[in-house]
Structure 1
Amino acid sequence: MERLVVIGGDAAGMSAASQARRLRGPDELEIVAFERSHFASYSACGIPYWVGGAVPERDRLIARTPEEHRARAIDLRMRTEVTELDVPGQRVRSRDLESGAESWTGFDKLVIATGARPVRPPLPGIDAPGVHGVQTLDDGQALLDTLAGTRGRRAVVVGAGYIGVEMAEALLNHGFEVTVVNRGEQPMATLDPDMGRLVHEAMDGMGITTVDGAEVSKVLTGPDGRVRAVATQDAEYPADVVVLGIGVEPETALAGAAGLPLGSYGGLLTDLAMRVRGHENIWAGGDCVEVLDLVSGRERHVPLGTHANKHGQVIGAGVGGGYATFPGVVGTAVSKVCDLEIARTGLREKDAREVGLRFVAVTVGSTSRAGYYPGAAPMTVKMLAERRTGRLLGVQIVGREGAGKRVDIAAVALTAGMTVERMTALDLGYAPPFSPVWDPVLVAARKAAAAVGAAER
């Protein structure tokens, strides 16, 4: 009998284990999985909405319990951390976090799904009580406990990316006065600055104070040792709780120490079948890997649950004796802060310049429904297209209800390598409750096609 060892019990790891179990029974393949936290197989993307109260119960985020995995002959060992990976010896060292006991476990096949960790800069006071990163269910529970026990109602969110703006909404829902301190030019650095400005203006209208161009230098504490403020070079922002929304990094210290190949973002490098390059019986997936950007042709770190689950399916097929591939991504993401929807796919202007692409950029304003239909909400669509060829390069959307998921039109077009001219003929669904007669994405495509033509004349 072969043994599969899985390091990490969330989306990628347990998807891989479950798929491998479907293909190979317990008499053929033993599966041992290690998870250091109290939870496995849960939606990390849902944590801000649980913290904010939109999801009333933590357990609604759990897709499958440890007991359910064990009932399918997957030996899932919770609160057990893998501390060393011996690649030549094909074994891992683990430590039971409750008892401290350590042991070695051999493997024939290995899956590394260690995820990502919140960026926590080495600033004075960063580890003070009341300062929280939010990456796991344990992190979310710790933050909720702090919110429940905090008498003051001032919160500072450090960073204005996806986690930052989502946590700003969650804290607002708890009745906190929220300040977002952001070192970038505008919120949402995954957007171009002109689109980020729309997010800033909308957040101001929600009562969230957004301070751009401000880098945190230290966290100040009171006589009790708890956080009392966040300081930048120019100002101090009082805080009874601080949430770090700076972003995440691949959790690859274990893999790096074992000599496995890492990319420029610190993520593991794999082939199309999610095998770690140069290692026939080691796979990796989820937030700890880098993936191919199909638009730029470069490797990127894109930590999303959608990718992690797909990675797991591909890995499980390979472990189970089949074959599947993960070809890459176009960089699609969607989020919200209160009633504002924010979406992007493909390249920003900065990205296009970095890979040497010449492009045109257009921006259009439209509505989510026919303008005369009740509930029509404004949205802004920005589109990038390559000069000369007209190939779609990227789309960004900021608007109210009905705006965000329109990015999927562009994601499909990017994956198919479509030109903006060809996009204008897409046969999209239309009725006044759902869209204007010309969908906003197609309006942008028409304008982009005209800009490409003008640029080449």
Structure 2
Amino acid sequence: MIGGDATGMSAASQARRMRGPDELEIVAFERGRFSSYSACGIPYWVGGDVTGRDRLIARTPEEHRARDIDLRMRTEVLEIDVEKQRVRARDLGSGAESWTPYDQLVIATGARPVHPSLPGAHARGVHGVQTLEDGQALLDTLAATEGRRAVVVGAGYIGVEMAEALLTRGYEVTVVNRGAEPMATLDADMGRLVHDAMEGMGIAMVNGAEVTEIRTDGEGRVRAVATADAEYPADVVVLGIGVQPETTLAERAGLPLGGAGGLLTDLAMRVRGHENVWAGGDCVEVLDLVSGRERHIPLGTHANKHGQIIGTNIGGGYATFPGVVGTAVSKVCALEIARTGLREKDARRAGLQFETVTIESTSRAGYYPDAAPMTVKMLAERRTGRLLGVQIVGREGAGKRVDIAAVALTAGMTVEQMTTLDLGYAPPFSPVWDPVLVAARKAVGAVRRGGA
């Protein structure tokens, strides 16, 4: 196993459940200091919602070793020799290198943060947030910094989550985003709702701005983030620009990559054209069940499923991963943000004709205390009425409603079929017509008017 986090150690653990140590020797390499941890929880650790680093660790190296998995920490794989079925690794402590043979290889190298090629990008006080080490380094900087001005570069999931974390810690937060609106995973009209809500929380939003330089003081410490026409003072900078598949080793080994740079696999998570090489997690591309195209979607949910499937197959069983519909949910303070399926531009790129509707509703019956507003946007295919995508922005009770749409997308349902779904109802939980079903009803009308 190359990689000791979600996919790698899920695969190792599942294979061990199926095969004993006398039948299967398992060696895992991890270049970091931690195994099996939740990177998704780092913003909440930084913000103080999670009280300590160890709460993000699902299983320690010692616990893996107790299950007869030879997990070698602080050991980086430098080369994959596919022809001779071996990998070359270096112990980062001693510097010693050695070759290890394999019968089955699992590549679980994850993703790497996009790091801009800008002056000052590696200055003191500039942080990416991808690993537990990254989170600890940021916390150390915050503890040692007297100033209270933070700039977040990027407004995707990590960007908005880190903006919340820094705001919670009492920082004056500015988000500099090159897109027209935050959350490019949403259509711009829904992203605007996020923009307005973040500004209402006291976060300064700067959209349509490309960072040109991170400026430093005489000691090499960050002091400001510069764009073409402005400068934003900063005592700490967090990069939330996104991630790319970490496939450097795979590319050098001649393994097949997709358009986004991720490894290509079959349904069993076997690397295409290689019977004994497997891959999963943030380093692979997966099939989008709605568009029929392959996409890079780095999420811990997929990574753990990939590991289970790979481990089952290596252990002598049989399992497959059919694909995804692109479901994701996040929040910034009290605002919940969710999406599944296709955005408008995704549908156009796939050659689909569609109708869109947007409705406003509440999380509970309007007369029930604390009913919170939400906006639901729905895309449906013209003529067929097939559901294509849903986006939801709202307060408490909004985000997880996207799961209704995720199931409908996976089942290939039409918006008309959705209107008859037997969803749970009581005034504390929902209006009589759930907001997702209200959107579906409106979409039915739009499809009919469009000539279905």
Please tell me the TM-score bracket, short chain as reference. Answer: over 0.9
C-alpha separation in 2, matches of 1:180 and 1:98: 38
Compute the displacement of 1:252 (Å).
Answer: 0.3
Cα shift readout 1:148-196 (whole Å, capped 9, x = no counterpart): 0011111000000000000000011111100000000100000000000
- Given candidates 329, 333, 343, the residue that maps to 2:328 is 333
Compute the displacement of 1:453 (Å).
Answer: 0.3
Say yes or no: does 1:72 pair with 2:67.
yes
Residue in structure 1 matched with residue 27 of structure 2 by the alignment: 32
Residue in structure 2 matched with residue 133 of structure 1 by the alignment: 128
Residue in structure 2 matched with residue 82 of structure 1 by the alignment: 77
Of residues 419-428 and 122-131 in structure 1, the stretch that sits farther from structure 2 once superposed is: 122-131
Aligned residues: 452
Instruction: After TM superposition, list the pairs within 5 Å mapping 1:26-175 onto structure 2.
Output: 26-175=21-170
Residue in structure 2 matched with residue 20 of structure 1 by the alignment: 15
Residue in structure 1 matched with residue 439 of structure 2 by the alignment: 444
Matched letter for residue 446 of structure 1:
R
Cα shift readout 1:87-124 (whole Å, capped 9, x = no counterpart): 10111111111111111111010000000010001111
Residue in structure 2 matched with residue 237 of structure 1 by the alignment: 232
Instruction: After TM superposition, list the pairs within 5 Å mapping 1:10-409 onto structure 2.
Output: 10-409=5-404
Helix, strand or coil for the counterpart of 1:171?
Answer: helix
Cα shift readout 1:52-78 (whole Å, capped 9, x = no counterpart): 100001111111010000000000000
Matched letter for residue 379 of structure 2:
L
Cα shift readout 1:364-400 (whole Å, capped 9, x = no counterpart): 0000000000010000000000000000000000000
Matched letter for residue 40 of structure 1:
S
C-alpha separation in 1, matches of 2:213 and 2:311: 44
Cα shift readout 1:261-316 (whole Å, capped 9, x = no counterpart): 00000000000000000000000000000000000000000000000000000000
Helix, strand or coil for the counterpart of 1:160?
Answer: coil
C-alpha separation in 2, matches of 1:381 and 1:37: 41
Matched letter for residue 374 of structure 1:
P
Helix, strand or coil for the counterpart of 2:355?
Answer: strand
- Given candidates 416, 425, 446, the residue that maps to 2:411 is 416
Matched letter for residue 447 of structure 2:
V
User: Which residues of structure 2 form unaligned runs of 5+?
Assistant: none
C-alpha separation in 2, matches of 1:124 and 1:84: 31
Compute the displacement of 1:135 (Å).
Answer: 0.4
Q: Please, what is the CA RMSD of the aligned residues? A: 0.6
C-alpha separation in 2, matches of 1:82 and 1:153: 40
Compute the displacement of 1:40 (Å).
Answer: 0.3
| Large movers: runs of 4+ above 6 Å | none
- TM-score, length-normalised on structure 1? 0.98
Helix, strand or coil for the counterpart of 1:29?
Answer: coil
C-alpha separation in 2, matches of 1:256 and 1:102: 21
Cα shift readout 1:196-255 (whole Å, capped 9, x = no counterpart): 000000000000001000011111110010111111111111111100000000000010
C-alpha separation in 2, matches of 1:210 and 1:225: 26
C-alpha separation in 2, matches of 1:250 and 1:13: 15
Helix, strand or coil for the counterpart of 1:203?
Answer: helix
Residue in structure 2 matched with residue 3 of structure 1 by the alignment: none
C-alpha separation in 2, matches of 1:381 and 1:200: 16
C-alpha separation in 1, matches of 2:242 and 2:387: 28
Matched letter for residue 316 of structure 2:
G
Helix, strand or coil for the counterpart of 2:450?
Answer: helix
Matched letter for residue 317 of structure 2:
G
